[in-house]
Structures are given as C-alpha cells and as structure tokens.
Amino acid sequence: MDKLRRVLSGQDDEEQGLTAQVLDASSLSFNTRLKWFAICFASGIVFSILGTGLLWLPGGIKLFAVFYTLGNIAALASTCFLMGPVKQLKKMFETTRLLATIVMLLCFILTLCAALWWHKKGLALLFCILQFLSMTWYSLSYIPYARDAVIKCCSSLLS
C-alpha cells in the first residue's frame, strides 16, 4: 500500500533528476491530494453538465463551449493532485499518448476560438465533439489494451 501511495503521490524517485524532484515535490498529504482530486474532478463534471444544460438556451453555444472545455480541463488537471504536475506532463507527452494529447489540447483551444472569437456555432460544436473523442482516446491510453479493443470493436462493426 505504501508503494501505491508513493507512486500516486509522485514520490517514486526512480531515475528522476534534481529539477524534476524539486518541481514534483509537494507538501500535501495523501489524503489532501485525494480530496483535491475529488473536488477538481467533481467540478469538471459539474462544469460539463452545466455547459450541456446551457446549450439549449438561446445563444447558449458560447456558454456550452466555454463550460464544457473548462470541465474537461478541470477533469484533466485533477490527476495532477494524484501524481504531481511534472509526472502528469511526462505521462501526457509519452510516445503512446503524444498524438492524443496534442489533438486534445488543440481541440480545447480551437473550441474556445470558434465560440468566442470566430463566432462559428457549428465549428464550436464540432470541436466539442472532437474534444470528447480525443479525451476518450487519451483516457483509454492509460488502460492496457483498451485502444486495441476499441479498434477491434469498431472494425468488426464496420465490416
């Protein structure tokens, strides 16, 4: 159990440089990290649900895009409390999930641009859908063989 706590709290110092150890260090206890993870993740869910509810209001596509994107960012940031920000960034940009991370971050940015600056409702909705798909693909990268299972499922459905 102690090993699990060390890994989840980012205190597993195997092959970590001095800079990474300093940036990854935290004075938060394991219980505090879990509480903030839950708070951040729950707020992400609330933002996403609120954004979906606002979609049906007149002119609500802007609010939907903003709240949905904030919800996804909060949910993604919540894992920083479990493993630390440096370890989170390292895992995000590993070769197995590099493409998914880049597409996901681009979708965050493009959703906000389409809704707030370009004023293109259809484009904002398209980017929200792509945001959902890229978040799903990114999340599946943490589950062993999950991507392979999804690919096999989809290919069997299409054939």
Question: Can you give the pLDDT at residue 55?
Answer: 85
How far apart, in whole angstroms, are the C-alpha atoms of residue 64 and residue 59?
9
How far apart, in whole angstroms, are the C-alpha atoms of residue 157 and residue 159?
6
Q: How confident is the model at residue 22 (pLDDT cuts 50, 70, 90)?
A: very low
pTM here is 0.76
* Residue 78 within a domain: yes
Question: Can you give the pLDDT at residue 29?
Answer: 84
Span 54-74, pLDDT tens digits = 988 888 889 999 999 999 999
Question: Can you give the pLDDT at residue 16?
Answer: 53
Span 99-153, pLDDT tens digits = 999 999 999 999 999 999 998 989 999 999 999 999 999 999 888 999 999 999 9
Question: Can you give the pLDDT at residue 1?
Answer: 60
* Residue 27 within a domain: no
* Residue 152 within a domain: yes
* Residue 122 within a domain: yes
Question: Can you give the pLDDT at residue 82?
Answer: 86
* Residue 33 within a domain: no
* Residue 149 within a domain: yes
Question: Can you give the pLDDT at residue 151?
Answer: 94
* Residue 48 within a domain: yes
Q: Are 99 and 146 in contact (CB under 8 A)?
A: no
Q: CB-hemisphere CA count at 13 Å for 3?
A: 1
**3 has a pLDDT exceeding 60:** no
Q: Are 123 and 84 in contact (CB under 8 A)?
A: no
| Tokens encoding 41 | 């993740």
How far apart, in whole angstroms, are the C-alpha atoms of residue 47 and residue 82?
21
Q: How confident is the model at residue 19 (pLDDT cuts 50, 70, 90)?
A: very low
How far apart, in whole angstroms, are the C-alpha atoms of residue 151 and residue 51?
30
* Residue 150 within a domain: yes
Q: What is the mean pLDDT of residues 82-88?
A: 88
Host domain of residue 72? 43-158
Please give the tally of structural domains in the chain. 1
